[in-house]
């Protein structure tokens, strides 16, 4: 059965560079046979967090939130593509993520970070690790860290130069790790209902 993977991207900037990494990951996972959808926080357009999805009466949540909750619950795995803002998380992606909780449970998550500089967003990736774990996801050990993003992926999300070659090599292990955990969690959920 095909794995259903949601790739989340959260920049609201008008000259977004990280979308290159999101598109690269979507294409790479599709090439491996996964059913992949890009969830762009800016396009979804959820308001700043006031009430979580679970705090609405059934059928009363905003339509975009309700549709996304359905997609999250139906997914087998998640990838979070995150930039680094002042050593921290991208606010658009964090805001979208925080609208949900139980919807994330018992599935694996992978983190791909990027920045314009050489540190490749790793401080943001590190912060996301604990957050996603707290939200009930199994965070895989493999991560992608891309920087400088403009020297690694071109405008069509194609790898360029030595940095692009390194990204292509790293992607295989990243995708293999995510696939292993996706298979493991699907099998366990089929075998035994989650404890809560």
pLDDT score recorded for residue 37: 98
How does residue 117 score in pLDDT terms, banded at 50, 70 and 90? confident
Q: What is the CATH number of domain 4-191?
A: 3.40.50.360
Residue 51 DSSP code: S
Which H or E element spans position 120?
Answer: none
For 134-172, the pLDDT digits (tens) are 999 999 999 999 999 999 999 999 999 999 999 999 999
Instruction: Determine the Cα–Cα distance for residues 114 and 79; give it in Å rounded to an integer.
Output: 13
Query: Which two tokens mark 9?
Result: 């991207």
For 40-64, the pLDDT digits (tens) are 999 999 999 999 999 999 999 999 9
Which H or E element spans position 77?
Answer: strand 77-83
What are the domain boundaries of the chain? 4-191
């Amino acid at each position: 059965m095909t794995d259903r993977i949601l790739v989340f991207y959260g920049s609201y900037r008008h000259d977004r560079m990280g979308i290159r990494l999101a598109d690269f990951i979507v294409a790479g996972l599709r090439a491996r046979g996964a059913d992949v959808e890009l969830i762009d926080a800016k396009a979804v357009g959820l308001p700043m967090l006031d009430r979580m999805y679970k705090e609405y009466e059934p059928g009363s949540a905003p339509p975009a939130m309700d549709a996304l909750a359905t997609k999250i619950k139906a997914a087998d795995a998640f990838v979070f593509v995150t930039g680094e803002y002042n050593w921290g998380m991208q606010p658009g992606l964090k805001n979208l993520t925080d609208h949900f909780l139980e919807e994330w449970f018992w599935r694996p998550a992978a983190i791909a970070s990027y920045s314009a500089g050489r540190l490749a967003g790793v401080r943001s990736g590190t912060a996301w690790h604990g957050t996603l774990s707290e939200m009930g996801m199994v965070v895989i050990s493999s991560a992608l860290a891309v920087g400088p993003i403009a020297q690694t992926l071109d405008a069509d999300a194609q790898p360029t130069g030595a940095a692009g070659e390194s990204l292509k090599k790293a992607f295989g292990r990243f995708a293999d790790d995510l696939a292993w955990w996706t298979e493991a969690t699907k099998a366990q959920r089929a075998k035994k209902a989650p404890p809560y």
